[in-house]
Structure 1
Amino acid sequence: MRPVKIFAAVAALTLATTTFTPAAATAATGSTVRPVTACADLVRGFALPGAPTHVTAAAVVAATATDPEYCGVAGYVEPAVRFELRLPTKTYAGRYLQYGCGGFCGLVNPPAFADCGLPHGGDVAVAATDDGHVGKTPAVVDDGSWGAHDQAARNDLEFRAPHVVSRASKAIIQAFYGAPPRKSYFTGCSDGGREGLLLAQRYPADFDGIDAGAPANYWGPLLGEYQTWLARTNSAADGSPILTAAKLPALHNAVLAACDRLDGLADGQLDDPRACHFDPTALTCRGADTPACLTPAQVTVTRKLYSPPADAAGTLLYPGGQQPGSELSWAGWIIATPETGGVAFARSLADNYLRYLGYPIGAPAATVDTFAFTRREFDRLTPVGVRYDALSLDLSAFQRRGGKLLLWHGWADEAIPPTGTLDYYQRLTHGRPQDWARLFMVPSLYHCGGGTTLTEFDPLKQLVAWVERGTRPTVVTATGRDAAGNVTRTRPVFAYPQRTVYDGTGSIDDDASFHPAPPSSPVRDVVHWAGEQLYGLPGPVAP
Structure 2
Amino acid sequence: MRRLSMLGVAALITAGSILTAPAATAGEPTFRPVRTCGDLVRTYDVPGAVTHVKTATVVPATATEPEHCDVRGHVEPAVRFQLRLPTKTYAGRYLQFGCGGFCGAVSTPPFADCGLPHGGDVAVAATDDGHVGKTPLVFDDGKWAENNQAARDDFAFRAPHVVSKASKRLITTFYGAPPRQSYFSGCSDGGREALLLAQRYPHDFDGIIAGAPAGYWGPLIGVYQTWLAKANTGADGKPILTADKLPALHAAALSSCDRADGLTDGAIDDPRTCRFDPATIACPPGADNAGCLTAAQVEATKKIYAPPTDERGRKLYPGGQTVGSELSWYGWTLPAPEFGGVPAAFALADNYLKHMAYPIGTPHSSVEKFAFTTRNFNRLTPEGLRSDAMSTDLREFRRSGGKLVIWHGWADQAIPAAGTLDYYQRLTRANGGLAATQSWARLFMVPGLYHCATGDKLTEYDPLKELVSWVERGTAPDRTLATGRDADGKVFRTRPVFPYPLQAKYDGTGSVDDAANFVPVPPSRPSQDVVDWAGNDLYGKAGPVAP
Q: What is the TM-score of this pair, normalised by structure 2? A: 0.95
1:37·1:177 contact (CA, 8 Å) conserved in 2?
yes
Task: Provide the C-alpha distance between the structure 1 equivalents of 2:76 and 2:100, rounded to a whole number of angstroms.
Answer: 21
Query: Partner residue of 1:16?
Result: none
Query: Partner residue of 2:379?
Result: 380
Query: Partner residue of 2:422?
Result: 423
Residue of 142, 145, 148 corresponding to 1:144: 142
Deviation string, structure 1 residues 299-358 (Cα, Å, up to 9, x no partner): 001111111000120110000000000000000000001121100010000000000000
TM-superposed deviation, 1:238? 1.9
TM-superposed deviation, 1:30? 4.7
Query: Partner residue of 1:179?
Result: 177
**Between 285-294 and 428-437, the greater mean CA deviation after superposition:** 428-437
Task: Provide the C-alpha distance between the structure 2 equivalents of 1:198 and 1:34, rounded to a whole number of angstroms.
Answer: 33
Task: Provide the C-alpha distance between the structure 1 equivalents of 2:101 and 2:16, rounded to a whole number of angstroms.
Answer: 10
Query: Partner residue of 2:88?
Result: 90
TM-superposed deviation, 1:523? 2.6
Deviation string, structure 1 residues 4-56 (Cα, Å, up to 9, x no partner): 3121221489xxxxxxxxxxxxxxx9511010111100001110111100000
Aligned residue pairs, count: 528
| Correspondences of 1:279-358 after superposition (within 5 Å) | 279-287=277-285, 288-358=287-357
Please state if 1:525 is matched with 2:534: no
| Correspondences of 1:61-460 after superposition (within 5 Å) | 61-287=59-285, 288-430=287-429, 432-433=434-435, 434-460=438-464
Query: Partner residue of 1:17?
Result: none
SS in 2 for 1:536: coil
Please state if 1:462 is matched with 2:472: no
Task: Provide the C-alpha distance between the structure 1 equivalents of 2:464 and 2:91, rounded to a whole number of angstroms.
Answer: 17
1:4·1:141 contact (CA, 8 Å) conserved in 2?
no
Task: Provide the C-alpha distance between the structure 1 equivalents of 2:16 and 2:477, rounded to a whole number of angstroms.
Answer: 24
Task: Provide the C-alpha distance between the structure 2 equivalents of 1:454 and 1:94, rounded to a whole number of angstroms.
Answer: 32
- Structure 2 residue runs without a partner (length 5+): 19-26
Query: Partner residue of 1:10?
Result: 15
Amino acid at match of 2:36: A
SS in 2 for 1:73: strand
TM-superposed deviation, 1:101? 0.4
2:498·2:520 contact (CA, 8 Å) conserved in 1?
yes
SS in 2 for 1:405: strand
Task: Provide the C-alpha distance between the structure 2 equivalents of 1:414 and 1:112, rounded to a whole number of angstroms.
Answer: 25
SS in 2 for 1:440: strand
Deviation string, structure 1 residues 112-140 (Cα, Å, up to 9, x no partner): 10011122321100000000000000100
2:41·2:53 contact (CA, 8 Å) conserved in 1?
yes
Deviation string, structure 1 residues 413-432 (Cα, Å, up to 9, x no partner): 00000000000000001251
TM-superposed deviation, 1:159? 0.2
SS in 1 for 2:165: helix
TM-superposed deviation, 1:239? 1.3
Amino acid at match of 1:160: R
Residue of 512, 531, 534 corresponding to 2:538: 534
TM-superposed deviation, 1:527? 0.3
Query: Partner residue of 2:482?
Result: 478
Amino acid at match of 2:401: G
Task: Provide the C-alpha distance between the structure 1 equivalents of 2:171 and 2:153, rounded to a whole number of angstroms.
Answer: 25
Amino acid at match of 1:469: R
Task: Provide the C-alpha distance between the structure 1 equivalents of 2:246 and 2:536, rounded to a whole number of angstroms.
Answer: 34
Task: Provide the C-alpha distance between the structure 2 equivalents of 1:312 and 1:384, rounded to a whole number of angstroms.
Answer: 23
Query: Partner residue of 1:46?
Result: 44
Amino acid at match of 1:406: V
SS in 1 for 2:31: coil
TM-superposed deviation, 1:401? 0.6
1:211·1:405 contact (CA, 8 Å) conserved in 2?
yes
SS in 2 for 1:281: helix
2:221·2:348 contact (CA, 8 Å) conserved in 1?
yes
Residue of 494, 498, 501 corresponding to 2:498: 494
Task: Provide the C-alpha distance between the structure 1 equivalents of 2:498 and 2:76, rounded to a whole number of angstroms.
Answer: 43
Task: Provide the C-alpha distance between the structure 2 equivalents of 1:12 and 1:487, rounded to a whole number of angstroms.
Answer: 16
Q: What is the TM-score of this pair, normalised by structure 1? A: 0.96
1:30·1:94 contact (CA, 8 Å) conserved in 2?
no
SS in 1 for 2:380: helix
Amino acid at match of 2:342: V
Amino acid at match of 2:498: F
TM-superposed deviation, 1:103? 0.2
TM-superposed deviation, 1:59? 1.1
TM-superposed deviation, 1:450? 1.7
SS in 1 for 2:408: strand
Amino acid at match of 1:325: G
Query: Partner residue of 1:25?
Result: none
SS in 1 for 2:88: coil
Task: Provide the C-alpha distance between the structure 2 equivalents of 1:460 and 1:201, rounded to a whole number of angstroms.
Answer: 20
Deviation string, structure 1 residues 150-185 (Cα, Å, up to 9, x no partner): 000000000000000000000000000000000000
Q: Give the ranges of 4+ consecutive aligned residues of structure 1 lying more than 2 Å apart after TM superposition.
A: none
2:311·2:374 contact (CA, 8 Å) conserved in 1?
no
**Between 4-13 and 453-462, the greater mean CA deviation after superposition:** 4-13
1:4·1:139 contact (CA, 8 Å) conserved in 2?
no
SS in 1 for 2:330: helix
Deviation string, structure 1 residues 208-231 (Cα, Å, up to 9, x no partner): 000110000000000000000000
Deviation string, structure 1 residues 373-416 (Cα, Å, up to 9, x no partner): 00000010000000000000000000001100000000000000
TM-superposed deviation, 1:497? 0.1
2:482·2:495 contact (CA, 8 Å) conserved in 1?
yes
2:409·2:449 contact (CA, 8 Å) conserved in 1?
yes
